[in-house]
Amino acid sequence: MITPKRYAPDLPFPPYAHQPGQTPHPRTHPEGHSYGASEYAGPSLSEQTWPECSAYLHGVDLFNHGYYWEAHEAWEDLWKTTSRSTVLARFLQGLIQLAAMHIKIRSGNERGAKKLRVKSLDNLTLHTESETYMGVDLAALRHHIAHVPSAALHLRLTLGVHPQ
Please check whether residue 44 is in contact with residue 22, taking contact to mean a CB–CB distance below 8 angstroms. no
pTM for the predicted model, two decimal places: 0.88
Reported as a single tens digit per residue, the pLDDT across 34-52 is 888 877 777 789 999 999 9
Report the pLDDT averaged over residues 2-7: 87
For the chain, the domains span 50-152
Higher pLDDT, 9 or 31: 9
Tell me, what DSSP letter sits at residue 30?
T
> Out of 2.60.120.10, 1.10.3450.10, 3.90.1150.180, 1.10.260.40, which CATH number does the structure's domain 50-152 have?
1.10.3450.10
Residue 102: closest CA among 141, 155, 61: 155
Is residue 161 classed as helix, strand or coil in its secondary structure?
coil
Quickly list DSSP for 17-48: ---TTTS--TTTSTTSTTTTPPPP-SPPP-TT
pLDDT on residue 163: 38
Q: What is the pLDDT of residues 87-121, one digit of tens each?
A: 999 999 999 999 999 999 888 898 999 999 999 99
